Amino acid sequence: MSGLILTTRDSAGPPIDMTGVLPDRLIEGGREALAGLMLVRGRERHRLDALFALQDGGPSGGLVLQPGDAVLDGVGSGMTAGELRVEGECGAYAGSAMRGGVLTVEGNCGAFAAAGMAGGSLRVLGDAGDFLGAPLAGGTRGMSGGSVVVMGNAGDRVGERMRRGLIAVHGRVGGLCGARMIAGTIVVGAGCGPGAGQAMRRGSILLRRAPEAVTPGFVDGGMNDWLFLDLMRKELIDGGAWPSGFPTAGTRARRLIGDRTAGGIGEVLIVSEA
């Protein structure tokens, strides 16, 4: 089955809610089912083919979005299979509640990317906003599976309440990275703001350098060899998730354990040169 390329007809105006615009719908109902999908833009509802020009192309059974200057919210929200690529930037909630498939954003994305994600893969070639991999607004469950790779920077509260999966940010992240984290792995390539691991119960946060201020409730476990780092490095390099500034060999890391004030035994590992 041929894929489809969706190009925004009019970039001016309020954000477009892209909920339901998924490869699943194309595979199950064909081009007609996708073209007739009703989308919300501002206070109005429009057929998808009134907002986007459709043409064959892209990956087989997949979708390519060309937003121009339009803001697309909810891209890939609830995605379960297939491939979706954004040739540009997108708004909030990219890949939220995602359960499968591959979503690629070639520019930046807004807040709540991968929020409530349970599976699949999200790759952002630019920056991500606040609440990456955190709970959906009003929710209590953060990311519980899948993988997220951000080639640029990310905002505050990356991986808040994270339960499982991988978040790798090649650049810098803001404050409260891994706050209230329950399990999973967060890798940060270029430093993070204050409050890393606050109220963390379990899980691992890997940093290239110590956070600006070590969160109270963490104790210093000293510098040690961690053999699992070799296995993790190989896996993450293969997936493009090992930040370029991280050492390419060695198992040395300084381990901070906490958050003891929350009864936590999570870890912040500051990865050392070989």
> To the nearest whole percent, how much of the chain has pLDDT over 90?
83
Class of domain 64-271: mainly beta
Q: Is the pLDDT score of 159 beyond 80?
A: yes
pLDDT at res. 1: 66
Pairwise CA distance, residues 32 & 246, whole Å: 48
pLDDT at res. 61: 85
Per-residue HEC secondary structure of 169-185 comes to: ECCCECCCCCCCCCCCE
Query: How would residue 213 be classed by pLDDT, with cut points 50, 70 and 90?
Result: confident
Query: How would residue 257 be classed by pLDDT, with cut points 50, 70 and 90?
Result: very high
Contact call for residues 198 and 176 (beta carbons, < 8 A): yes
Q: Is the pLDDT score of 274 beyond 60?
A: no
Distant-in-sequence, close-in-space partners of 211: CB < 8 Å, separation ≥ 6:
191, 192, 193, 194, 196, 268
Tokens of 67: 């937003």
Q: Is the pLDDT score of 119 beyond 60?
A: yes
pLDDT at res. 24: 87
Domain locations in the chain as residue ranges: 64-271
Q: Is the pLDDT score of 115 beyond 90?
A: yes
Contact call for residues 142 and 135 (beta carbons, < 8 A): yes
The pTM (predicted TM-score) of the whole model is: 0.95
From residue 172, how far is each of 92, 100, 191, 195 by CA, in Å? 19, 27, 5, 14
Cα atoms found within 13 Å of the Cα of residue 54, Cβ hemisphere only? 20
Q: Is the pLDDT score of 260 beyond 80?
A: yes
Question: What DSSP string describes 217-233?
Answer: T-EEEEEEE-THHHHHH
Question: What DSSP string describes 45-102?
Answer: EEEHHHHEEEEE-SSTT-EEEE-TT--EESTTTT--SSEEEESS---TTTTTT-EEEE
pLDDT at res. 273: 62
Q: Is the pLDDT score of 137 beyond 90?
A: no
Q: Residue 121 in 3-state DSSP?
A: strand
pLDDT at res. 239: 87
